[in-house]
Amino acid sequence: MIARRRQVALVVTALLAAAAACQAQYREHQAPAGRPAPSLPSRTASGGFTLVASGDVLPDASINDRAAFDAGGAGHDFRPMLAGVEPVVARADLALCHMGTVYGVNGAYTGAPLFKSPPEVAPGLAATGYDGCSTASEHTLDDGAAGIRRTLDALDRVGVRHAGAARTEAEARSVTFLRAGPALVAHLACTYGSNRPLPPGQPWAVGPIDEDRILAGARAARQAGADVVVVSLHWGTQWQDAPDRQQAILARRLTASRTGGRPDVDLILGTHAHVPQAYEKVNGTWVVYGMGDQIAGRMTNDHGVQDPRGNQSTLARFTFAPPARPGGRWEVVRAEFVPELFDIDAGRVVNISEAIAQGADLQGVRDRIRNVVLSRGAAKDGLVMGR
């Protein structure tokens, strides 16, 4: 198992009650038993850091079968499935995924419409180099409060932080903090809705997208010491390449909000649409409307037709530099996207840029993803395709 970047733990008490709608958790980090938690230096020069983020992890029955095969019949192993992007993920100072489902127990694993995934997904994500995951989606309540508890417990066991769902009200009213090189990053996450009702007496289990509470949570995180505030939003219209009206409006409002002349939100990361969507700099802040599905089986769109776009996605990579003056903003000095493909036959996530460099005939897929990602003018603001 690769050595992981140790996550910072600071106790945050007051200031955070307003963040309840955009659930997150933050408590003192403990390394899993038997697993080293070394403190590693930043991988980015000049005191900055690099953040990598990826899209929905949606293990259906075919994905679970593949992971069982890769484990040799002894449980499930998701590490080989993700090995193709491990070099990009592990080299980042901070890597965030989107865990789109909850975990089941004792082999009772299911796919759509109500997902219960093998808990071995969590060690697979950890081994790949992910430091944290958003956990707010329409599937967060697929197995009620028990599913949330199993999922967050499994992520805790492997040292992967999480934001978006909560086991207790106190957890819901706190904010996830992660160390990225010299910076302290706050991670908030919320969803447009859920497939199932909230558990009785637990209105805080997963929070809906609410502009005012997102901003209140972002401001509280900043007051508690956050250098950078990242908001993960499970939003948008499925199978639509372009962001919908609600995404565009919310992106404008969140990025326009400022306190003391400093933006309240530094980066927005979108999931849910199943397809890659555009990147755009809005009010000086990068917005990724949708990264697409990083792991998913054979996908059928709203017309009942198998749609290869459901297995296409991007890794977002942003390099932040420290502020030029005390109290200033950490600025994105390099913005990149890495096109991805989930090979449903091989059961592997493919870094398309690397695969093409090795001779794979994937130029058409790469170009389609690139055209969508750049469709709202991100190239003029410096977004480039990376490897």
SS3 sequence, the chain?
CCCCCCCCCCCCCCCCHHHCCCCCCCCCCCCCCCCCCCCCCCCCHHHCEEEEEEEEEECCHHHHHHHHHHCCCCCCCCHHHHHHHHHHHHHCCEEEEEECCCECCCCCCECCCCCEECCCHHHHHHHHCCCEEECCCCCCCCCHHHHHHHHHHHHHHCCCEEECECCCHHHHCCCEEEEECCEEEEEEEEECCCCCCCCCCCCCCECECCHHHHHHHHHHHHHCCCCEEEEEEECCCCCCCCCCHHHHHHHHHHHHCEECCEECCCEEEEECCCCCCCEEEECCEEEECCCEEEEECCCECCCCCECHHHHEEEEEEEEEECCCCCCCCCEEEEEEEEEEEEECCCCEEEEHHHHHHCCCCCHHHHHHHHHHHCCCCHHHHCEEECC
Query: Quick one: pLDDT at residue 11?
Result: 30
pLDDT digits (tens, 9 = 90+) for 195-207: 999 999 999 999 8
Q: How far is the CA of 193 from the CAs of 136, 140, 190, 196, 254, in angstroms?
A: 9, 9, 9, 9, 19
Are 81 and 67 in contact by the 8 Å Cβ rule? The answer is yes
What CATH superfamily classification does 17-385 receive? Metallo-dependent phosphatases (3.60.21.10)
Task: Give residue 343's pLDDT.
Answer: 98
Residue 255 has a pLDDT of 98
pLDDT tens sequence for the chain (387 residues) = 333 443 433 333 333 434 444 643 333 232 232 222 223 333 555 689 999 999 999 999 999 999 999 999 899 999 999 999 999 999 999 999 999 999 999 999 999 999 999 999 999 999 999 999 999 999 999 999 999 999 999 999 999 999 999 999 999 999 999 999 999 999 999 999 999 999 999 999 998 999 999 999 999 999 999 999 999 999 999 999 999 999 999 999 999 999 999 999 999 999 999 999 999 999 999 999 999 999 999 999 999 999 999 999 999 999 999 999 888 999 999 999 999 999 999 999 999 999 999 999 999 999 999 999 999 999 999 999 999
**pLDDT value of position 46:** 63
Instruction: Say what the pLDDT of residue 18 is.
Output: 41
Residue 73 pLDDT: 84
Boundaries of every domain in the chain: 17-385
The confidence score (pLDDT) of residue 176 equals 97
Rounded-to-10 torsion of CA 12, 14, 17, 18:
-100
Q: Which pLDDT does position 28 carry in this prediction?
A: 29
